Amino acid sequence: MADNTTSHTISEVIPDSPADMAGIRAGDVLRAAGGQELVDIFDYHYLTDEETVTLSVLRNGEAMDFTIEKEIGEDAGLLFENGLLDDYKSCRNACVFCFIDQMPPGMRETLYFKDDDTRLSFLQGNYVTLTNISDADLDRIIGYRLAPINVSVHATDPKLRCELLHNRFAGDVIEKMRKIADADLPMNAQIVLCKGMNDGAQLEKSIADLLTLQPQLESLSVVPVGLTKYREGLYPLEAFDRQDAKEVLSIIHKWQAHAYEHYGTHFVHASDEWYLLAGEDLPDEDSYDGYLQLENGVGMLRLLEEEFGEALEEQKKPLFMRKRKLSIATGRLAAPSLERLCQKASAKFPKLSVEVYPIRNDFFGELVTVSGLVTGRDLIAQLAGKELGKALLLPQNMLRAGEEVFLDDVTVSDVCDALHLPVYIVKSDGKSLLDALLGVRGHG
């Protein structure tokens, strides 16, 4: 067998999982499942899917076999030092809109890595271009029936897609997606819209082409290109204005009506930024088809408003409540929506006073308005000396996943120390926001 000691080392065994019950330990090296050597995480999930499977490991140089019993489809309970059991595949494209190319210098190395790994689409929901996948790998995904696969399409016109991705082999995306659809595997797709390139008639063509992959292609999101101030030497892209946003929404709404009439689904969705930029109301909850693209900012604010409203209605007024003054910092895009929610809470709880501070993104540039790209340095600089009340609330998406660190490596503790008050991180759902405002469930 090949030496996979590094990539196949088990970092953690989930307590009481099938693997734990069988006696597998952290530090063991997984060598095979059911007698077959594992190439990557696809093999692991496929080969451990049965009720009974024998896992071969190496422990302190000694080969050992363990038989695990579990339900079909139940995870064996192993986590690995390398999540893919293989090297990560970097992106082969040079997209004209790539956000990583617009990062400032001097940040941590991991922020400059461009992944385009289909395995991460399956594991973490990442969007991939399918330009980094061989026919054999595509056949393996289909054979293993690993789904959903999330595809960054951007344009279905072959020539235009090659131009957008700056990759002469990028024009066959529809053929690859049709192969996945023919195997009856679910997909989702996204389009990053660039002004004067893949909008207008090209957007209409892309929506029409992708709609032919229904029902396997369950949803399509359209998001505006993100532009930072670090674009020197890059393709000259322009920001969308209010009229542009209205035109984009007009196209999307037209195709939503068509899709709903013929397929019973709205299919194509605009990210929240388009509605805020256009100055239009967010769609009703039913228009989002179950919020299939929250990770692309599609329906996040509508869902937050619905959840917050339900939680506020259910929340009983306490017999006694002290005055409570708080502050919230967020990106400029979401600030008006949060202000409205806080006003509703204050109307029911008059002793609650909340100030919402929209943070201008000096780090990446003023065109970046989302809360997920607000940095610790901008928070400290713009909130110093402000009336912040008893505590500062921040949305969880400002932080690196699983850590209390902002994109610029400033920590939550750094912000606490600089502003001289407690900082609470709030999950993205409406109930958590209301709990944080009212000071329940560990929010001071």
pLDDT digits (tens, 9 = 90+) for 151-210: 999 999 999 999 999 999 999 999 999 999 999 999 999 999 999 999 999 999 999 999
Give the pLDDT confidence of 62-107 residue by residue, as tens digits. Answer: 999 999 998 887 888 888 887 666 665 667 778 999 888 888 887 7
CB count in 10 Å sphere of residue 35: 10
Distance CA 45, CA 389 (A): 49
Rounded CA separation 79/35 (Å): 20
Write the CB contacts of 249 (distance below 8 Å, at least 6 apart in sequence).
Answer: 270, 274, 275, 278, 280
Compute the distance between CA of residue 402 and CA of residue 392 in angstroms, rounded to an integer. 20
User: pLDDT (tens digit, 9 = 90+) per residue, 411-420?
Assistant: 999 999 999 9
pLDDT of residue 41: 77
* CA-based nearest residue to 301, from 323, 326, 331, 325: 331
Residue range 123-144: mean pLDDT, rounded: 80
Q: What is the mean pLDDT of residues 2-18?
A: 76
Confidence of residue 50 (pLDDT cuts 50, 70, 90): confident
What is the pLDDT averaged over residues 238-246?
96
Edge-to-edge strand ranges of the sheet holding 149-152: 127-128, 149-152, 187-193, 217-224, 268-270
Beta strand pairing status for 391-395 and 324-331? Answer: parallel
pLDDT of residue 85: 63
What pLDDT digit, counting tens, does each position of 55-64 carry? 999 999 899 9
Q: What is the mean pLDDT of residues 228-255?
A: 95
CB neighbourhood size of 185 (10 A): 17
Of the pLDDT bands very low, low, confident and very high (cuts 50, 70, 90), residue 3 is very low
State the sign of the Cα–Cα–Cα–Cα dihedral 80, 84, 86, 88. negative
Amino acid identity for residue 334 in this structure:
A
Higher pLDDT, 38 or 168: 168
Q: Up-side HSE of residue 172: CA atoms within 13 Å toward CB?
A: 12
Closest CA to 155 of 190, 118, 114: 190
Report residue 314's pLDDT band, with 50, 70 and 90 as the boundaries: very high
Task: Identify which has the larger pLDDT, 44 or 225.
Answer: 225
Domain covering 304-438: architecture: 3-Layer(aba) Sandwich (3.40)
| pLDDT score at 5 | 46
Q: How many residues does the chain have?
A: 444
In the block, residue with structure tokens 């408003």 = 305
Q: What are residue 184's phi and psi, to 5 degrees? A: 65, 40
CATH architecture of 100-295: Alpha-Beta Horseshoe (3.80)
Residue 119 has pLDDT above 70, yes or no: no
Collect all residues with Cβ–Cβ distance below 8 Å to 216 and sequence separation of at least 6: 180, 181, 184, 185, 186, 187
Residue 239: pLDDT band with limits 50, 70, 90: very high
Domain ranges (residues) in the chain: 10-80, 100-295, 304-438
Judged by DSSP in three states, 253 sits in helix
DSSP code string of 321-369 = ---EEEEEEEETTTHHHHHHHHHHHHHHSTTEEEEEEEEP-TTT-TT--
Fold of 10-80: Pdz3 Domain (2.30.42)
Residue type for position 21: M
Averaged pLDDT score across all residues of the chain: 89
Considering just the CA atoms, what is the radius of gyration of the chain in Å?
Answer: 24
User: Which region among 76-80, 291-295, 350-354 has the lowest average model confidence (pLDDT)?
Assistant: 76-80
pLDDT of residue 113: 57
CB 189 within 8 A of CB 210: yes
Report whether 151 contacts 173 (CB < 8 A).
yes
Residue 118 confidence (pLDDT) above 90: no
Say what the pLDDT of residue 191 is: 97
Distance CA 10, CA 165 (A): 37
End-to-end CA distance of the chain: 55
Res. 140 pLDDT band, cuts 50 70 90: confident
